[in-house]
Amino acid sequence: MTILENAPTQLSEVQKKQVRSVYQEIATEYDERIPGEGPSDDTFTESEHEFVLSKVRAGQKVLDIGCGTGRFTVPMAAAGARVTGLDISRAMLDVTEGKLAAQGLSADLHEGDMADLPFEDNSFDVVTSMLALMHIPLEDRERVFAEVSRVLKPGGKLVIGVKNSLFEQFFKGDRFAAVDITDVEGKTLLFTKTRGGNDLTAPWYSFSPHELKALFAASGLIMTHLRGNSTISAWLADEVLADSGVAGVVRALEKNLGDVPPFNYLGYHILVEAVKPGR
């Protein structure tokens, strides 16, 4: 093997180690960081939950990749799905395990890399992945989607939430950046205000709707639903949203326009469902 052939794999491994070490360090504070600080953050997370849980039914076999501290793993298990969670960070999985035990729930948790899924072909009804695919090194992207397609049953669904690089073409700053900031140019996510006092960085590559469509096509999946999350609020200055009348109207519009082109393409994040045909 030449050095050139070898180089991308080494880079990918270095990046994944970096991601893992950041989440190992912030696992016990992750849940305090993620909800953000304002009403727009609440709307954002409510919208994520509504989207994911509307796609999962009791009794289905669901795989949550990059499951972290179980923000979706736990509610899906509570909704009666038979959930498997996979994450590269053991410390994040430990938090999920604690939450499941506290609620008398169970899920099958695995430490591993989503580019190399330790599961049989055609074994899940749904694969979910929220806020995690952006950490995948670019060279691993096709492999991850191929792995997802492989483990999905025919007729199974992929349900994901990713940051929208189309939005980033206009807005370089992070709109709801209480505790982490996307550095669009540097392709990193910066975790600020950590308990340890250090700013931590991990690789971060957002997706455009068009990139997702291409990745789906290459792995035999078909996009069936594209919803924009924070389609309007993310574009408005905080001072505009501080007016409760304006904020209420924006909230109502977002509820109604989230699935409608072109607004869905303009979301700060995009929530996407794709199906593996064949049933």
Ligand X SMILES: C[S@@+](CC[C@H](N)C(=O)[O-])C[C@H]1O[C@@H](n2cnc3c(N)ncnc32)[C@H](O)[C@@H]1O
For residue 110, list its beta bridge partners. 86
Starting at the earlier edge strand, list the strands of the sheet with 200-203: 180-183, 188-191, 200-203
- Residue 86 beta carbon to ligand X: minimum distance, rounded to whole angstroms: 6
Question: 82-87 and 61-65: which strand pairing?
Answer: parallel
Query: Binders of ligand X: how many residues, by CB under 6 A?
Result: 23
For residue 191, list its beta bridge partners. 180, 200
Q: Which of 61, 71, 163, 175 binds ligand X (CB under 6 A)?
A: 71
Q: Which is nearer to ligand X, 162 or 247 (CB)?
A: 162
Window 203 to 262, contacts with ligand X (CB under 6 A): none
Region near ligand X per CB under 6 A, out of 88-96, 148-156, 190-198, 234-242: 88-96
In DSSP notation, 52-84 reads HHHT--TT-EEEEET-TTTTTHHHHHHTT-EEE
Q: Which of 52, 63, 126, 131 binds ligand X (CB under 6 A)?
A: 131
Q: Which of 92, 95, 151, 166 binds ligand X (CB under 6 A)?
A: 92
The single residue listed with the structure tokens 């340890």 is 196
Using an 8 Å Cβ cutoff, are 248 and 37 in contact? Answer: no
Q: Which is nearer to ligand X, 48 or 125 (CB)?
A: 48
Window 101 to 130, contacts with ligand X (CB under 6 A): 113-115, 130
Confirm or reject binding of residue 132 to ligand X (CB under 6 A): yes
Among the listed residues 18, 112, 132, the one whose alpha carbon sits nearest the alpha carbon of residue 70: 132
- Residue 20 beta carbon to ligand X: minimum distance, rounded to whole angstroms: 6
Q: Which of 56, 83, 88, 151 binds ligand X (CB under 6 A)?
A: 88
Q: Which is nearer to ligand X, 72 or 205 (CB)?
A: 72
Site string for ligand X, 20-59 (x = CB under 6 A): ---x----------x-------------------------
d(CA 145, CA 218): 8
Question: 188-191 and 200-203: which strand pairing?
Answer: antiparallel
Q: Provide the residue type at 222 as one letter.
A: I
Confirm or reject binding of residue 100 to ligand X (CB under 6 A): no
**Residue 123 token pair:** 């074994």
Q: Provide the residue type at 37 as one letter.
A: E
Interface residues toward ligand X, by CB under 6 A: 16, 19, 23, 34, 65-68, 71-72, 86-89, 92, 113-115, 130-132, 135-136
